[in-house]
């Protein structure tokens, strides 16, 4: 395969822009930023993220190439979510069908470093960027009572989110990627956005039924 000097991260950002914009306008996000998100929807989403992050950690750790981007700050994210749920008086519950589908996809691509990077890009850089805005919005939406239940969004023990994001990109770019691999990474990142959209839809629907 022919090696080229394309930037993986620049390609990922450019080719997922539409998916990123679409998820920002999802009803779950709209209700959150309007301060109207049901608490049950947030709890449901947290529960679904637990197995997703466990599966992502396992897949990345098993990949000699992709594991280089998994810094200590980004390992064990599921444990923080479980802690947050406990503070909210909730257990980890059972994953929804959407969460199981997400985990199944991560298992399917575990032997493809490029596709794994597409998932890591979507989740990790999302946590380090938009996730920080979400944390502040959750605190405003639900009040001081939930401030201790936002450890999932707190990277302060490891440095600033901006610095960690820069480090993630540097590690990803240090790996040589072929054109075909970059294409697969971008394709999988878009799929990760779609899988996350399904999680949001399920969380909101579950809250409305409850």
Structure-token pair, residue 108: 């399917």
CA pseudo-torsion sign 21, 24, 30, 35: negative
**How many domains are contained in the chain?**
1
- Quick check: is 49 in a domain? yes
- Quick check: is 1 in a domain? no
* CB-based contacts of 210, cutoff 8 Å, min separation 6: 40
Rg (CA), the chain: 17
pLDDT of residue 209: 67
Q: List 178's β-bridge partners, or say none.
A: 3
- Is residue 70 very low, low, confident or very high in pLDDT (cuts 50, 70, 90)? confident
- Quick check: is 120 in a domain? yes
Please check the confidence at residue 210 and state whether its pLDDT lies above 80: no
- Quick check: is 158 in a domain? yes
Q: List 3's β-bridge partners, or say none.
A: 178
Please check the confidence at residue 68 and state whether its pLDDT lies above 90: no
Burial 87-101 (b: 16+ CB within 10 A, else e): ebebebeebbebbee
Q: Which of 139-143, 187-191, 205-209 has the highest mean pLDDT?
A: 187-191
Structural domain including 60 reads 8-209
At 107-136, the pLDDT tens digits run 999 999 999 999 999 999 999 999 999 999
Q: What CA–CA distance (Å, rounded) separates 117 from 9? A: 10
Counting residues of the chain whose pLDDT is more than 70, the rounded percentage is 97
- Quick check: is 93 in a domain? yes
pLDDT of residue 179: 95
CA pseudo-torsion sign 33, 38, 39, 43: negative
Q: What CA–CA distance (Å, rounded) separates 8 from 160? A: 23
Whichever domain contains 53, its CATH number is: 1.20.910.10
- Quick check: is 2 in a domain? no
pLDDT of residue 206: 87
pLDDT of residue 88: 96
3-state SS, residue 12: helix
Residue by residue, what is the 3-state secondary structure of 81-146?
HHHHHHHCCCCCCCCCHHHHHHHHHHHHCCCCHHHHHHHHHHHHHHHHCHHHHHHHHHHHHHCHHH
CA pseudo-torsion sign 34, 20, 192, 119: negative
At 1-59, the pLDDT tens digits run 445 568 999 999 999 999 999 999 999 999 999 999 999 999 999 999 999 999 999 99
More confident residue, 1 or 153: 153
Quote the DSSP letter at residue 35: T
- Quick check: is 203 in a domain? yes
pLDDT of residue 36: 95
Please check the confidence at residue 151 and state whether its pLDDT lies above 90: yes
- Provide the mean pLDDT of the chain: 93
């Amino acid at each position: 395969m022919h090696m080229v000097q394309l930037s993986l991260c620049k390609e990922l950002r450019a080719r997922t822009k539409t998916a990123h914009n679409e998820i920002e306008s999802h009803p779950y996000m709209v209700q959150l930023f309007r301060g109207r998100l049901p608490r049950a929807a947030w709890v449901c989403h947290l529960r679904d993220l637990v197995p997703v992050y466990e599966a992502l950690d396992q897949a990345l750790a098993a990949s000699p190439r992709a594991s280089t981007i998994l810094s200590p700050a980004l390992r064990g994210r599921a444990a923080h979510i479980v802690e947050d749920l406990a503070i909210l008086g909730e257990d980890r519950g059972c994953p929804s069908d959407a969460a199981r589908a997400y985990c199944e996809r991560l298992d399917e691509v575990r032997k493809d470093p490029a596709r794994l990077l597409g998932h890591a890009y979507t989740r990790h850089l999302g946590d380090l960027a938009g996730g920080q805005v979400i944390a502040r919005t959750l605190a405003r939406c639900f009040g001081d009572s939930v401030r201790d239940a936002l450890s999932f969004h707190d990277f302060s023990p490891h440095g600033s989110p901006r610095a960690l994001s820069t480090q993630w990109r540097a590690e990803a770019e240090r790996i040589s990627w072929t054109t075909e691999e970059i294409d697969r990474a971008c394709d999988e990142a878009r799929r990760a956005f779609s899988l996350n959209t399904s999680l949001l839809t399920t969380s909101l629907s579950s809250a409305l039924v409850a």
